[in-house]
């Protein structure tokens, strides 16, 4: 019987238990998949800790993976047994050796990019792509603020915004990440645990502020990010690594005519064709070295608890994956 990481009760990382699980045969429109690698995301930390109550317990966490198709349900025509595929899927279940999956979630992979790199970059890279193209379309010459610039999404976001011709200001939580953030395309790096990042952004932009702030740190940075915006600037609050943002007065946006979004990559890429096209563009950017995956911390599936400790450790840079 295959094994998986099962969460019986929300709480500390040690609640992630490696145990045998039954995997049913695929229903019509589904495939069965044997994973080779699974991406670990901050979303998984929110689910495990109980901040998000979106996984029915007991349940198998995880929202992206890479693997090989081992069985086809009826009515699946675009895939074959043996195909190498990757997916993002908000229906959970990725922390597993084997699983069933809606076939429409599967993105067929061609040779070229290693499974570990795909697991480290698929969800994070698609998120970065949606943020720079759709949530706010970054233009040459824009000032762009990216928090946690040496993290999984942050490092890809900085590279993409820089590639599009923006001036990128990154924030990082510790000194050893400064050079990394510069390597990821940041023109200016602020150590936001020690420096007043609002004052530094004002200084760097000659008082103008930024056209867009990408903030997934949440509680600790949200109001500072708003203060960093230029007139008509946009704040994309796409996560909450430090905790949820408290309620605030919408009229606070009026003085500078600012706008705010709380985007989800799953909503932006809900349509199959759009998701497939976005993945193709991401793989092209990786192949062309427009994006570098950065450091990948690798753990065996059974050690998911350790992987979560690594996710929550602020000394970490880059991405975390589980291998099978
Ligand atoms: N909306 C969406 O569709 C979407 C999709 C994917 C990811 N996200 C969000 O994007 C963010 C990044 O995700 P990721 O998986 O790539 O994680 P990550 O950036 O690799 O890790 C989170 C980073 O947040 C910073 N941070 C600030 N305060 C923190 C705190 N109190 N505890 C822990 N970390 C803190 C840390 O960097 P420093 O120490 O350098 O500050 C840490 O490395 C998350 O908030 C996630 O929810 C959103």
Which atom of ligand 1 approaches the CA of 243 most closely? 31
DSSP 156-220: HHHHHHHHTT-EEEEEESSTHHHHHHHHTT-SEEEETTTS-HHHHHHHHTTT--EEEEEE-S-TT
Please say which residue of 266, 283, 304 terminates a domain.
Answer: 266
CA of 315 relative to ligand 1 center, distance in Å:
12
pLDDT of residue 317: 86
Residue 71 resides in a domain: yes
**Index of the ligand 1 atom closest to the CA of residue 315:** 39
Q: Are residues 129 and 189 in the same domain?
A: yes
pLDDT band at 81 (very low <50, low <70, confident <90, very high): very high
Q: What pLDDT score does 269 carry?
A: 98
Do 204 and 258 sit in the same domain of this protein?
yes
pLDDT at residue number 278: 97
One domain, residues 151 and 202 = yes
- pLDDT tens-digit profile of 175-233? 999 999 999 999 999 999 999 999 999 999 999 999 999 999 999 999 999 999 999 99
Torsion of CA 157, 160, 162, 167, to 10 degrees: -50
**209 phi, psi to nearest 5 deg:** 90, 180
Q: Is 291 in the pocket of ligand 1 (CB under 6 A)?
A: no
Does 114 reside within a domain?
A: no
98 and 218 part of one domain = no
Residue 150 lies inside a defined structural domain of this protein? yes
Domain for residue 302, yes or no? yes
Choose the final residue of a domain: 247, 266, 285. 266
How many structural domains are present in the chain?
A: 2
Considering the domain architecture, whether residues 139 and 261 belong to the same structural domain is answered as yes
Read off the pLDDT of each residue in 235-244 and give the average, rounded to a whole number. Answer: 97
Structure confidence by residue, pLDDT tens digits, 122-133: 999 999 999 999
Residues 190 and 240 in one domain: yes
Average pLDDT over residues 62-66: 98
Q: Is any ligand 1 atom within 6 A of the Cβ of residue 316?
A: yes
What CATH number is attached to the domain comprising 99?
3.90.180.10
Same-domain status, 262 and 130: yes
Task: Name the residue of 38, 41, 42 whose CB sits within 8 Å of the most ligand 1 atoms, as the mutation to test its pocket.
Answer: 42
**What confidence category does residue 110 fall into, taking pLDDT thresholds of 50, 70 and 90?**
confident
Residues 130 and 238 in one domain: yes
Angstrom distance (rounded) from CA 148 to CA 174: 10
Across the chain, mean pLDDT equals 97
Judgement on whether residues 172 and 223 belong to the same structural domain of the protein: yes
Give the span between the Cα atoms of 268 and 195, in whole angstroms: 34
Domain that holds residue 203: 124-266
Same domain, 93 and 139: no
We report the CATH number of the domain holding residue 251 as 3.40.50.720
């Amino acid at each position: 019987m295959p094994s998986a990481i099962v969460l019986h009760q929300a709480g500390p990382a040690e609640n992630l238990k490696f145990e045998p699980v039954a995997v049913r045969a695929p229903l019509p429109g589904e495939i069965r998949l044997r994973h080779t690698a699974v991406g670990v995301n901050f979303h998984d930390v929110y689910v495990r800790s109980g901040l998000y109550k979106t996984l029915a317990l007991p349940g198998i966490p995880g929202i992206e993976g890479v693997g090989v198709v081992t069985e086809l349900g009826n009515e699946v025509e675009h895939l074959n047994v043996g195909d190498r595929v990757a997916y993002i899927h908000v229906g959970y279940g990725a922390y597993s050796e084997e699983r069933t999956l809606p076939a429409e979630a599967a993105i067929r992979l061609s040779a070229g990019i290693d499974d570990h790199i795909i697991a480290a970059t698929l969800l994070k890279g698609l998120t970065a792509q949606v943020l720079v193209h759709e949530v706010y379309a970054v233009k040459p010459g824009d000032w762009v603020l990216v928090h946690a610039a040496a993290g999984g999404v942050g490092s890809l976001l900085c590279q993409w915004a820089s590639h599009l011709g923006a001036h990128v200001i990154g924030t990082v939580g510790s000194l050893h990440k400064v050079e990394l953030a510069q390597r990821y395309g940041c023109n200016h790096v602020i150590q936001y645990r020690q420096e007043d990042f609002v004052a530094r952004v004002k200084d760097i932009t000659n008082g103008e502020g930024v056209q867009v702030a990408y903030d997934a740190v949440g509680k600790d940075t949200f109001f500072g990010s708003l203060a960093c915006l230029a007139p008509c600037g946009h704040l994309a609050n796409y996560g909450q690594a430090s905790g949820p943002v408290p309620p605030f007065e919408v009229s606070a946006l009026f003085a500078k005519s600012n706008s705010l979004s709380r985007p989800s990559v799953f909503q932006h890429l809900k349509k199959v064709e759009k998701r497939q096209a976005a993945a193709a563009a991401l793989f092209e950017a990786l192949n062309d070295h427009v994006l570098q995956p950065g450091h990948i911390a690798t753990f065996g599936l059974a050690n998911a608890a350790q992987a979560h400790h690594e996710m929550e450790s602020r000394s970490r840079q880059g991405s975390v994956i589980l291998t099978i």
